Amino acid sequence: MKRKLYSILLLTALAGFLPGCKDGFEDINTNPNAPVDVQPSLLLRKITFDYGEQMSYEAFVAGNLLGQYFTAIDFNLFDRHSLNEPQYGGNPWPFLYSNLRDNEILLQKARANTAFGVYEGPALILKAYIAAELTDLYGDVPYSEALQGKAGVITPAYDTQESIYTAPGGILDNLDKGIASINNYKGPTALDGDVIYGGNRSKWILFANSLKIRALMRISGKVNVQAALQKVVTDGNYIKTNADNAVYRFSLTQPNNFRMSTARIGDFNLFIMSKTSEELLTGLGDPRIATYFRPTAANPAVYKGLLNGPDASKLSISLADYSLTGTIFRENSDRLSANYMTAAETSFWLAEAAQRGLVSASARTLYEQGITQSFAYWGVALPASYLTSSQVAYNQNGQNPIEQILTQKWLGNINHAYEGWTEYRRTGFPRLKTVSASLNNGLIPKRMPYPGTESALNAVEYQKAAANTQNNSINVPVWWAR
């Protein structure tokens, strides 16, 4: 007993000489090499490059399947429209929100410090851009309450797609505010870290107005956008030439390379030409086919595609009989750009607006301009007879001019292929096919499903959103497509 008492007294005495359990805790548990803050220039560079790189990869492995540019011949549940089972890609939600988060930090820095004010306009434009990509894919999403974890909001409500587009602080409002911020900035600070335009703020305004054209046209089935569209056209301050495209070129080597260019050859060769691409490109006599795809190894004079969504367990093909994706996606990927917005896409949007009577302009001129710009963008010579050929000539030979415009826009957007699927959902063009072994009852999906993390981490708000989409169904159209 005495020995036990002595031990207790000794330990008590020693404890008086030991530091408290909290003393020095932060010093011990803080990594001195980890940054606690970051310069706006580094944030802007990170956001623009990371978003472009990740979306370009997603376009290749998932968007190109939904848009039916490529077919996947294995590990292809996504190609068969089981969208809740993403494999190589098909879950853009995390990187969309991570870039929105970093962009929000950039925006707050720009507003809190006048020395960083030059970044406010581009940050507002990027917020509008990424929010549009997010809501176009999923529909209603957390927006106005999102990205406020530090303020204690960890279960943000889902905003309606309509409000994300049209409400104060939404897509259209942020584009206008972004343009105004750039115009009003008179400070001396350069826009460093700009991998898209090299710090040229005037070109960010062109980018914003082209995005405004896209946003207005996307919701034009639900909202009267005629006056707003005509104002943008009248002002004329949007992307009109490839020199002003919102893109950046990949390099052949890391860290700025296109991800699929260094993927295992077995992974790269899972993606081949789709039957949809074959029929459209060969039917139009379109020479871009040699850039997008390779001729078959069995017959170098032939391009051949496969219907999307085969049952891989029953598929027995020889790769030599089908067209693999082009060298621009692998050996020559330094010719490939991450695509935010181009002159060609802008021209096609305006051609559709003109054809629908929403703006005063020549739809044919804009359509032919868009084709010419797209060929130049891809580095392909435009054949002298292409624009007057029977299938391409505008509104001739019984062709549907809206279908012609949407088909040509689809053809030019292979490196941003979710757009091809999104535009199909809005217009029904180009005419996509029922996939071979559908896991979605033969239906082409109308939205991306919310990821499983939402039901686990934001359960109450997720359940409300799921109830509005027939239990998170991929067959419920988003607001602008209803």
Mean pLDDT confidence for 157-172? 98
Q: Residue 45: what pLDDT? A: 97
Q: Residue 37: what pLDDT? A: 82
Q: Residue 28: what pLDDT? A: 55
Q: Residue 302: what pLDDT? A: 97
Q: Residue 31: what pLDDT? A: 62
Q: Residue 119: what pLDDT? A: 98
pLDDT digits (tens, 9 = 90+) for 370-402: 999 999 999 999 999 999 999 999 999 999 999
Mean pLDDT, the chain, rounded, equals 93
Mean pLDDT confidence for 405-432? 97
Mean pLDDT confidence for 157-165? 98
Q: Residue 179: what pLDDT? A: 98
Q: Residue 32: what pLDDT? A: 60
Mean pLDDT confidence for 135-153? 95
When pLDDT is cut at 50, 70 and 90, the band that residue 237 belongs to is very high
Q: Residue 19: what pLDDT? A: 44
Mean pLDDT confidence for 85-97? 96
Check whether 36 has a pLDDT greater than 70: no
Percent over 90 (pLDDT), the chain: 90
Q: Residue 481: what pLDDT? A: 98
Check whether 126 has a pLDDT greater than 50: yes
Mean pLDDT confidence for 298-320? 95
Mean pLDDT confidence for 422-429? 98
When pLDDT is cut at 50, 70 and 90, the band that residue 23 belongs to is low
When pLDDT is cut at 50, 70 and 90, the band that residue 182 belongs to is very high
Check whether 315 has a pLDDT greater than 70: yes
When pLDDT is cut at 50, 70 and 90, the band that residue 64 belongs to is very high
Q: Residue 34: what pLDDT? A: 55
Check whether 15 has a pLDDT greater than 90: no
- Write out the chain in H/E/C secondary structure: CHHHHHHHHHHHHHHCCCCCCCCCHHHHCCCCCCCCCCCHHHHHHHHHHHHHHHHHHHHHHHHHHHCCCEEECCCCCCCCCCCCCCCCCCCCHHHHHHHHHHHHHHHHHHHHCHHHHHHHHHHHHHHHHHHHHHHHHHCCEECCCCCCHHHCCCCCCEECHHHHHHCCCCHHHHHHHHHHHHHHCCCCCCCCCCCCCCCCHHHHHHHHHHHHHHHHHHCCCCCCCHHHHHHHHHHCCCCCCHHHCEEEECECCCCCECHHHHCCHHHHCCEEEEHHHHHHHHHCCCCCHHHHECCCCCCCCCCCCECCCCCHHHCCCCHHHCCEECHHHCCCHHHCEEEEECHHHHHHHHHHHHHCCCCCCCHHHHHHHHHHHHHHHCCCCCCCCCCCCCCCCCCCCCCCHHHHHHHHHHHHCHHHCHHHHHHHHHHCCCCCCCCCCCCCCCCCCCCCCCCHHHHHHCHHHHHHHHHCCCCCCCCCCCHHHC
Among 22-36, 259-273, 323-337, which is the least confidently predicted range?
22-36
